[in-house]
Structure 1
């Protein structure tokens, strides 16, 4: 009887080992585990991407006087001379809208001055731009968690786009940092040469909001509601994906770190003239090309890479 029980025990052990090995083999492949089912990981969770979702959304934030709060984000008409239309227009023509969504932030794009008292203040205009941009990104990400984002901005719009990138890099933005494949800031009033990637030639100056921060109360007497916030905290994991482009001598992004005549400089800041108006054709920032052409080529490279994944 003892022998019979011993044989039965051995048989049970062998069967148990066999079942365990079989189960282990079904979960192993040479070189690693069986690949996960179709889909991609998003924050450690397998994400579902509805078929209608675009692979990429390009978000463009226009500069001062280049947008309106009620403008159509898919077909903006507020200012036909808006700089970044020179990028978004060709992109819209080149890629199918079901694969690449091109969206332009509609916001006031205003600066209140004594000669324009009915305008929204610089700070308030930017706040609206940040909120509208962030809402669009959050809404699309909520429905399409694997869609990539390309973000660009010019002038006041660069300040907005950079601020949104700062929030995303800090982990409290509208989308996770891994979903943002690139950010381009043209003529950024908060340009810090120690943050992001400088695509322009070496410049001694900084963004005007950094330069004039120490004398912000004086600036406020010329431009009410422009508080000159100084540098951003940084872009975190997005740092190598944020690109600065500044034309030498631009009174928005290439200002001496210490300006002796703050009142005169504040007036220049909002003149929207000089080098700040040359991004479509000036080749001094990036020798051999213009900021506008560079931005289009940069965006196409990111879009093509996202579509290929």
Structure 2
């Protein structure tokens, strides 16, 4: 049994802080005017870096981290000899923290993802307002892929700061929200190449060589509530690239307890400088998970009102319930649900007391206890204990004991089978070097021409920019004056209200989930 938490904890640690070192810390990103300059590009790429690769005050145009291997070549491919460019880019700053488990912001993963999503929404809205004719692409790596996936789902559902036809391509590397066995383009079965940007011929995109990797069978290590099976209107324009063996996106399907450990770690502040704070944070996460697990188990899985007719009928395995409860977005039980659980346990307990009372507090026993107790109180207590011990077996008749034993065995068996991949030699061998897999997106060849995943996305985004420019007259696009307004000159903060963009409704995101991904 010690193997399970050890493997799960290793999984959580293995996929954090694998990004490039040397992230600089300088002045925070300014408003849209500082991102697009005096003229608007045909295409603007938004990037969200991995854990430890960003911070709230990292410059938005500083080319570091894994995504620099996408954006730097993209900029080269879209800039002519005169220095005119079809594309712009920004690495949206955010905490990129994991509760102190990696250098950088000492904030829980769940909070980091939430702030990253809001900053991404704000930045997209600002650029869209300044450059209404510009279209967007998005890229995210690891924790940043979690953020970008959530953003794409908002946009694809018509709830983002820009309309879906303005987000022409999204690339996710090592995405914790990846659905188990998801193809390269989630929700678009059989699609092997990127779709053209809406309103273009796609002539340049057609030339792109798509990745030819085998589809990993696992899924993202994030909470099931965040799993992205498809992206609404964006389905087919979102690519989820996952290196086999990368636990952030290819975690074993049969390991819900790993997800639970990861979620709890993602809610915690793991500060090495303040162990008491760390323990308190972990305890709070565990306590909330316990409450959110226990109430539905009592109300839904336990049947009967006495120990004699008690039975266990699990609607979900205990591992699944814990994994769901560990997601901080899983709501606490309502007061009525909690009261119902307490009353149910109380009723079972009361009926058990009645059964004992019927056996112990008979007129004959009372007379015997009174006679012995008056003469020798100590002997009276001993006699009462003897009567009580003799009555307890009647709470659980042999037939009931056998039934409950069998049901309890089934519960344990189901939890072992649910987590079979944690004790599977084949499964564990696959992840022996997950750190290497998680950091390979800029180096491992994935296309027939030998390109890495990062190089493929750089080519894809550059092709989108060229197609968009060709459809609108590239000379006018790259020199379109930026629209100035008070909203584009105000500093952006993570708590700001999202400005509305042309043709779309802007909405603040709901709180997001923690996960142990880099």
Q: Which runs of 5+ in 1 are unaligned?
A: 1-50, 214-228
- 1:80-122 CA-to-partner distances (Å, cap 9, x unmatched) read 4x11111112223342566321111111111116788971111
Match of 1:85 in 2: 68
Match of 2:156 in 1: 169
Match of 1:279 in 2: 441
After superposition, the Cα gap between the structure-2 partners of 1:52 and 1:260, relative to the gap in structure 1 and judged at 3 Å, is closer
Which of 229, 243, 248 is the equivalent residue of 1:247? 243
Aligned-partner SS, 2:39? coil
Contact 1:53 1:98 (C-alpha < 8 Å) held by counterparts: no
- Cα distance in 2, alignment partners of residues 260 and 105 from structure 1: 32
Contact 1:196 1:241 (C-alpha < 8 Å) held by counterparts: no
- Cα distance in 2, alignment partners of residues 272 and 156 from structure 1: 16
After superposition, the Cα gap between the structure-2 partners of 1:131 and 1:115, relative to the gap in structure 1 and judged at 3 Å, is closer
Contact 2:97 2:104 (C-alpha < 8 Å) held by counterparts: no
Q: How does 1:126-165 map to 2 (within 5 A)?
A: 126-165=113-152
Output the TM-score relative to the length of structure 2.
0.42
Offset, 1:131: 1.0
Match of 1:201 in 2: 214
Is 1:121 aligned to 2:108, yes or no?
yes
- 1:204-263 CA-to-partner distances (Å, cap 9, x unmatched) read 1111115xx4xxxxxxxxxxxxxxx44137311100100010000001001121216528
Is 1:178 aligned to 2:165, yes or no?
yes
- 1:101-159 CA-to-partner distances (Å, cap 9, x unmatched) read 11111111111167889711111111111111111111121232221101111101111
Aligned-partner SS, 1:254? coil
Offset, 1:70: 0.4
What RMSD in Å do the two structures reach over aligned CA positions?
2.9
- 1:164-209 CA-to-partner distances (Å, cap 9, x unmatched) read 0100011110100011110001100001216345754222111111
Match of 1:110 in 2: 97
- Cα distance in 2, alignment partners of residues 249 and 236 from structure 1: 28
After superposition, the Cα gap between the structure-2 partners of 1:102 and 1:263, relative to the gap in structure 1 and judged at 3 Å, is closer
Offset, 1:75: 2.5
Is 1:295 aligned to 2:460, yes or no?
no
Over alpha carbons, which structure has the higher Rg?
A: 2
Contact 1:196 1:243 (C-alpha < 8 Å) held by counterparts: no
After superposition, the Cα gap between the structure-2 partners of 1:255 and 1:174, relative to the gap in structure 1 and judged at 3 Å, is same
After superposition, the Cα gap between the structure-2 partners of 1:114 and 1:245, relative to the gap in structure 1 and judged at 3 Å, is closer
Contact 2:178 2:229 (C-alpha < 8 Å) held by counterparts: no
Contact 2:98 2:105 (C-alpha < 8 Å) held by counterparts: no
Aligned-partner SS, 2:40? coil
- Cα distance in 1, alignment partners of residues 105 and 159 from structure 2: 33
- Cα distance in 2, alignment partners of residues 118 and 137 from structure 1: 23
After superposition, the Cα gap between the structure-2 partners of 1:172 and 1:290, relative to the gap in structure 1 and judged at 3 Å, is same
**Structure 1 residue ranges, 4+ long, deviating more than 3 angstroms after superposition:** 96-99, 113-118, 196-200, 263-267, 269-272, 285-288
Aligned-partner SS, 1:240? coil
After superposition, the Cα gap between the structure-2 partners of 1:260 and 1:74, relative to the gap in structure 1 and judged at 3 Å, is closer
Q: Which runs of 5+ in 2 are unaligned?
A: 1-37, 193-210, 267-432, 472-518
- Cα distance in 2, alignment partners of residues 184 and 115 from structure 1: 25
Greater fraction strand:
1
Output the TM-score relative to the length of structure 1.
0.68
Match of 1:58 in 2: 45
